[in-house]
Structure 1
Amino acid sequence: MENTYYPPSPDQVPAELMKLHPAYKWRVFYVLLGIIFFMAFYFTLVAASGYLVYLAIIYPMGPVNKLTILLKLGAIATSVMFFVFTLKFLFKKSSYENPTDVEIREADHPRLFQFIRQLCQETGAPFPKKIVANEQINAAVFYDDTVLSMFLPVRKNLLIGLGLVNSLNLTEFKAVLAHEFGHFGQRSMKLGSYVYMANRIIHDMVYNRDRWDRTLDEWSRSDIRISVFAWILKAFIWVVRQVLALAYQGINLLHASLSRQMEFNADRVAVSVTGSGQIINGLSKLMRSSAAMNLAMNQLSNAADHKLYTKDLFYHQFAAEQYLLNKHPEYQDRQPHYDESGRPFIFTAADEEVPDMYASHPSNYDREQNAKAIYVEGPTDNRPPWLLFDNAEQLKETITEKLYQNAGLLRDNAKLSSPEAVNNFIQAELQETSFDERYRGAYDSRYIHPFPTENAEEEALKRFPDEQAAQAALSSLYGKELEAQMAHRRELQEELAQIINAANSGGKKQHFTFRGKPASPEKAQELYDIVNKEITDQYNGWFKTFDETTHLLHLALMQHQQLPEKEAYLKRCDFHNRIQSYYFMLEETQTGFQQTLKEAIGMGQLDEGDVLRFEGSFNHYQKILNEVVEEAREVLMPSFEYVEEGYLKDFLLEGNVIRGGSNLLNNTWISKFSEQMNTVLSRTRRLYFKSLGKIIKMQEAVREA
């Protein structure tokens, strides 16, 4: 029976499309050679350490006395510890785990299984052992990995992210899955599992510290007659780890080149069953889809603060994508350009970005060049991939609920609501925090300067002594000068992004063009400082004057028109200044906390001095958060949409900030403090934009009075 949900494939596919490049075969050979050398070295190390244990046990002790007994026991203990060190990594199991995963069964979604079965047949890939879905914008192959998987066949599993399903048409979805099935069928995928296993063993031996290391440390702190053996073993382990660190870098270097070509080969598989354009069209949508998902997640987190929980995350992802398309031109579909032969291209050489789901892949530009080098025409089926899911609504709800539970947002046995009901809240929030196009984006992409409050009314009348003067200033306030300044600000931000991209290119870029001249990545920091200073100078210069003028002008109009809203306006401005100062303080505190935590984790074993230093830093961060929350108990908050008038503390945090003191270097304290910091910071930021939106609307009302 014909599968009416399976997009048609290209009529003609050139035979040379799937022909492997000779350089690829050599890369496979070099990686395989590197793996063989490492495995030979590693298993020799295991065998040698085992033989050392045997020798230590059977070697004649000679005359029996305290010294020979001590030497005998020390030799046995040292050799056994070394043997355990080499052997323990063989028995570690690496498995993929995600708490929001839901296994998809054929009985529930027969159309999807029929689709995948037909795609496997067309691409020559084995059918997955298991198919799971979650909320991600992703599709991937995964499998549980042990040493045995290097020698025995392991069936791969397929992950389908519903965020991806929500973003593509049916043919693009087919192309993305075909790319993954291209990995299923590649023999080099098996080689990748060897590389992964080798890397995991080396990484754990070189960088991980566990109970074995703690035991060795305790041994080395014992009586010198006993600890001498531990110090000998420590020195030897250090040498082994240095050698393995070099091996780790070498294997990764070899595999990086191979994996790049593996991705190109997998893209060619997608091209063979959908045409050259589909996998690239799908790629071009992923950045927008990720931004939409992030926006939807933030919106739903805000709704959860008001005990509103949706049944369908993906409804809101789609709505967020439409919002981005309407409000932000950079998210519009790219217009193709054409080469001499008329082939359409989307990406340019300047496009170095890589979507999150393809973080380890070549750039979008390189992938498009590869996919269209041998151009294959293919038909397009614009239907949504949701057609493949027979029980899509139930699956969406299950994954959405799992996501809430994993984030700890579902409280008091709360019920999920219809997405339409939750969307009413989101739209009210957007209405309150969206700004008219007349402002040229001046309030969307920057934090305004604090409102002048000291003698503000007198200063306003001094600057604008009558309504005619105020109206004259108002006529040019949002005109061409603001437009030019915002355009310049966007140019500087784009330059900054270009510099950061060049600095993070990992050596792929030999140079880039900066203001019409070639520049090397080595100069990125210098150029970054130049552009960042220009942004700061503009912010503290022209924009500071603009913010001050805007405030005083509207305050003058309120006085000239004798509007009763003036007092409420001034109170809101005062509240806004306070919220903004809290936000900047908390943002700086969170950054410091995260950097300190990263440093502590990176050090591994901490001595007493380190513990005291880190606890001192954590107490400092706790004190700042606590001071903000305690001060907020006395701050009256004006009303907003979905937020009643009341004390600020009740909005920022339920309960009290976790206590500081001693013994803070534990997961329980760190996790709780981090959660509270994130909560207060995100709610402060939300209030900032709600407050600013309210003030801007009050200014608009004055102009219309």
Structure 2
Amino acid sequence: MNENALQPSENFKKMAARSVQAIWLFVLTYLLLVSAAVGLTILSAFAGLMLIAAKPMFITIMLGGGLICFGVLILIFLVKFIFKVNKIDRSHLTLVTKEEQPGLFKMIDEIVAEVGTDFPKKVYFSSEVNASVFYDSSFWSMFLPVRKNLHIGLGLMNTISIDELKAILAHEFGHFSQKSMRTGSYVYNVNQVIYNTLYENEGYGNFAQKLAGISNYFAIFVVLAGKIISGVQFILKKIYDVVNLNHLALSREMEFHADTVAASVAGSDALITALHRLQLADYSLNNVFNYYNGKIKDKEKTNNIFPQQKFVMDFYAGLQKIKIENHLPIVSEEHYSKFNKSKLTLKDQWSSHPRTADRVEHLRKLNYPLKSYGTGIAIDLLVNKDTVFEQVTKKLFDAIDYGNSPIISDAGKFEEDFLENQRQNTFHQLYNGYFDFRNPLNELNSEDFEKPGLSIHLHANNFFSDENLSLIYLLDGINEDLNTLKQIEDKVFEVKTFDYDGKRYTQQDCSELIERLESESKDLDDQLKKLDAQIFEYFLYLALEQGRKEEFVNFYNHYKAIRTLLESQNNCHNKITQVTSFMHTRTAVETIEQQMYLVKDEEIVFKEELLKLLTNPLYGEHITAIDKEQIEKFIASNYNYFAGGSYFNFQVDELFDSIRLFAKIINDTNFNAKKRLLDFQVTLEGVNSTANKKPVTI
């Protein structure tokens, strides 16, 4: 291993120094607060005891006891973090030993030796697409040595190569590779102390409430202590921002340092290719999870989710034309970034990790050669991998109650259902994803269905090329950048400088840049609208040529009728969702009672929209008998939702169930109408393709 890889960069040292300075600021402030709290506690205890001694009677005993509690409460608030232990939930983890998996532990041994760090205390498997080092921490772990545990997700090992696994594990050990790296650990723990003092106060709050419940005399002093604690929190919040911002800046440098260690151990490309594939691997596993979440009601589960994850990943790789090498998709840098056309670069001071693009750029500059550890997928390192897969899968599903006789589904059924779901819920590959982001032309009248202006023979690939698709991504990127720039101009968040398309700008430059981007956005939008019109005319021409104009018009009018209603339906859904959002959070009784007037007003409009769904034949196909019964029951109801300081849970549940059902019906109906139109156009193109017409450029 390159020894320089272990040396922190100058920027790392600078961020570490700033973090230490922020910590000292906290320590000095905290010591002053504690000293004041100790003094106040002694003073209030003395005053309380003197009051009781002066005239022992019920009222003086209560007031004296309240005074003593007043000081103690403030002191406890400031020192309660000492007793806080942050324990990592291990219920989803499976312990693995060297005897069980010698191949994996051999790799870990070699990495540990090369990096020069300690071997993990324990190694665990999970189902995740992730790897991490973790430990139970407390205030005392800043001063006492704590051995770390290694967590490896099988969802990760199932989708990366052996070389990539080595790079990822080396990255994790890189975080603890040098004594100087302990600065980051120390800052993290102090950050946890401040966070606990500010935000983790449920237990303390319960204790204070019980104390206040003893007597009204005690309650007076509990309220007074609360006022002082609010002032202490105000001071600590200001310092927390300083400490946390410096901690996050250091965390980003720690990631770059760990990447340097990983690249030195395994090679730059090993980590780069893994970083590019992780999003696809995680998305694929979540697809499998979502499938089985939908099967809970049918008591259906599987013994092994991981071949299904691999199937989904390979499917999407094929769909997106990603090449496969050694049984793994090679997600290129171009593919990874093609969906993100933003040219705006901000220094995200609240992020703990650098952007993937920045990490890749850093690794490219290092340019460490690949040190091949072995060929194959990382999961091949495991002994009896199918048994391990099943153990981890079982632990995953054990958290769900399937009753006495769950149905065990095989991979074949999953694959069949997955492909059928793709067929029903995605648009034909002919469109190359174009209509995933845009809708067919909607502002049409009867004259538009007459003779089309486009009357030359073409193929659909002239319209749905990657080049035209990139226009959509570019427009989205510009609009996203515009939104951010307007927030910078309005000082929604403070940014001194930023980069756009590789050039440095200041806040004062926003107005000119916004004007330029708005012009570019309009030009792109006009270009895409022109393309939409050409697509419509192209398929209209095919329909006329094939004598299927009436079918084409019917599909279009059906889609247009539903699309026309969608905007008002979405507005209704957004309003009822917005006015009921407070019901998901802890809210003061007075606020709830006031907000309920708005809920009841908006409920009237919402019920009217639900009734329109029931009476409009356009939506009948997507409203089941059970759905209809639920909607009719809700429309006929006159719920209060809240009274006497408490929610009526069953009424609230029915409200939110109806909101979700409304959204599902309108979205399913719109999607189905759009898909039917697009599928019909595919049949027109199918005939066109068999006519052996030479494609031309438009």
> Could you say which TM-score interval applies, normalised by the shorter chain?
0.7 to 0.9
Query: Is 1:321 the counterpart of 2:313 in the alignment?
Result: yes
Query: Is 1:649 the counterpart of 2:624 in the alignment?
Result: yes
The equivalent residue for 1:64 is 55
Which sits farther off after the overlay, 18-27 or 576-585?
576-585
The equivalent residue for 1:86 is 78
5+ residue gaps, structure 1: 1-12, 337-346, 639-644
Which sits farther off after the overlay, 161-170 or 30-39?
30-39
Q: Deviations over 1:261-315 (max 9, x none)?
A: 3222222221232123322232222233344445555566567788765544333
SS in 2 for 1:126: coil
Query: Is 1:123 the counterpart of 2:79 in the alignment?
Result: no
Paired with 1:113 and 1:440, the residues of 2 have a C-alpha distance of: 45
The equivalent residue for 1:422 is 414
Contact 2:11 2:253 in 1 (8 A): no
Q: Deviations over 1:458-487 (max 9, x none)?
A: x3xx6556xxx4797584695757768655
Which sits farther off after the overlay, 13-22 or 59-68?
59-68
Paired with 1:241 and 1:667, the residues of 2 have a C-alpha distance of: 35
Q: Deviations over 1:216-275 (max 9, x none)?
A: 689999999876645543332222112111221222233233323322222222123212
2:382 partner amino acid: F
TM-superposed deviation, 1:70 = 6.3
1:494 partner amino acid: G
1:147/1:626 CA distance change after superposition, 3 Å: farther
Query: Is 1:18 the counterpart of 2:6 in the alignment?
Result: yes
TM-superposed deviation, 1:417 = 1.6
Paired with 1:428 and 1:488, the residues of 2 have a C-alpha distance of: 30
Query: Is 1:257 the counterpart of 2:249 in the alignment?
Result: yes
The equivalent residue for 1:662 is 641
1:31/1:113 CA distance change after superposition, 3 Å: same
SS in 1 for 2:434: coil
Which sits farther off after the overlay, 215-224 or 391-400?
215-224
SS in 2 for 1:128: coil
Paired with 2:342 and 2:294, the residues of 1 have a C-alpha distance of: 39
Contact 1:170 1:385 in 2 (8 A): yes
Query: Is 1:181 the counterpart of 2:173 in the alignment?
Result: yes
Residue 391 of structure 1, aligned match among 380, 384, 401? 384
Paired with 1:391 and 1:147, the residues of 2 have a C-alpha distance of: 41
Which sits farther off after the overlay, 168-177 or 316-325?
316-325
Paired with 2:402 and 2:378, the residues of 1 have a C-alpha distance of: 29
Contact 1:310 1:416 in 2 (8 A): yes
Residue 475 of structure 2, aligned match among 492, 497, 510? 492
1:261/1:371 CA distance change after superposition, 3 Å: same
Contact 1:450 1:577 in 2 (8 A): no
Which sits farther off after the overlay, 87-96 or 211-220?
211-220
SS in 1 for 2:260: helix
Q: How does 1:25-424 map to 2 (within 5 A)?
A: 25=13, 27-32=15-20, 34-35=22-23, 38-39=26-27, 41-42=29-30, 45-46=33-34, 49=37, 52-59=40-47, 60-61=50-51, 63-64=54-55, 72-97=64-89, 100-106=92-98, 108-187=100-179, 190-208=182-200, 210=202, 212-213=204-205, 229-230=221-222, 232-298=224-290, 309-328=301-320, 333-334=331-332, 360-371=352-363, 373-380=365-372, 381-400=374-393, 403=396, 413-424=405-416
SS in 2 for 1:284: helix
SS in 1 for 2:133: strand
Query: Is 1:695 the counterpart of 2:677 in the alignment?
Result: yes
Contact 1:576 1:688 in 2 (8 A): no
TM-superposed deviation, 1:386 = 0.7
1:250/1:434 CA distance change after superposition, 3 Å: closer
Q: How does 1:550-561 map to 2 (within 5 A)?
A: 560=547
Paired with 1:97 and 1:208, the residues of 2 have a C-alpha distance of: 18
1:333 partner amino acid: V
User: Under a length normalisation based on structure 2, what TM-score does the superposition of the two structures give?
Assistant: 0.75
1:424/1:504 CA distance change after superposition, 3 Å: farther
Paired with 1:687 and 1:391, the residues of 2 have a C-alpha distance of: 47
Contact 1:165 1:386 in 2 (8 A): yes
Contact 1:652 1:684 in 2 (8 A): no
Paired with 2:487 and 2:96, the residues of 1 have a C-alpha distance of: 38
Contact 2:346 2:499 in 1 (8 A): no
TM-superposed deviation, 1:119 = 2.5
The equivalent residue for 2:497 is 510
TM-superposed deviation, 1:173 = 0.8
Paired with 1:621 and 1:131, the residues of 2 have a C-alpha distance of: 54
SS in 2 for 1:141: strand
Paired with 2:607 and 2:99, the residues of 1 have a C-alpha distance of: 53
The equivalent residue for 2:326 is none
Contact 1:590 1:677 in 2 (8 A): no
Contact 2:559 2:670 in 1 (8 A): no
Paired with 1:99 and 1:579, the residues of 2 have a C-alpha distance of: 47
Q: Deviations over 1:300-341 (max 9, x none)?
A: 6567788765544333433333343334369973369xxxxx
SS in 2 for 1:158: strand
Residue 577 of structure 2, aligned match among 571, 584, 593? 593
Contact 1:206 1:242 in 2 (8 A): no
Q: How does 1:433-448 map to 2 (within 5 A)?
A: 433-436=425-428, 438-439=430-431, 441-448=433-440
1:512 partner amino acid: D
Which sits farther off after the overlay, 666-675 or 382-391?
666-675
Q: Deviations over 1:367-425 (max 9, x none)?
A: 3454455543233344100112223324434444555666x696884423222221112
Which sits farther off after the overlay, 488-497 or 417-426?
488-497
The equivalent residue for 1:612 is 593
Q: Deviations over 1:30-55 (max 9, x none)?
A: 53454355346546645654564444
Paired with 1:101 and 1:684, the residues of 2 have a C-alpha distance of: 41
Contact 1:573 1:695 in 2 (8 A): no
1:535/1:489 CA distance change after superposition, 3 Å: farther
Which sits farther off after the overlay, 175-184 or 479-488?
479-488
Q: How does 1:571-590 map to 2 (within 5 A)?
A: 574=558, 578=562, 581=565, 585=569, 589=573
Which sits farther off after the overlay, 17-26 or 573-582?
573-582
Identity %: 21
1:251 partner amino acid: V
The equivalent residue for 2:693 is none
Paired with 1:236 and 1:423, the residues of 2 have a C-alpha distance of: 61
5+ residue gaps, structure 2: 323-328, 335-339, 688-698
Contact 1:130 1:158 in 2 (8 A): yes
1:595/1:477 CA distance change after superposition, 3 Å: farther
The equivalent residue for 1:4 is none
TM-superposed deviation, 1:172 = 0.9
How many aligned residue pairs are there?
A: 656
SS in 2 for 1:112: helix
The equivalent residue for 1:642 is none
Contact 1:178 1:273 in 2 (8 A): yes
TM-superposed deviation, 1:155 = 1.9
Paired with 2:487 and 2:97, the residues of 1 have a C-alpha distance of: 42
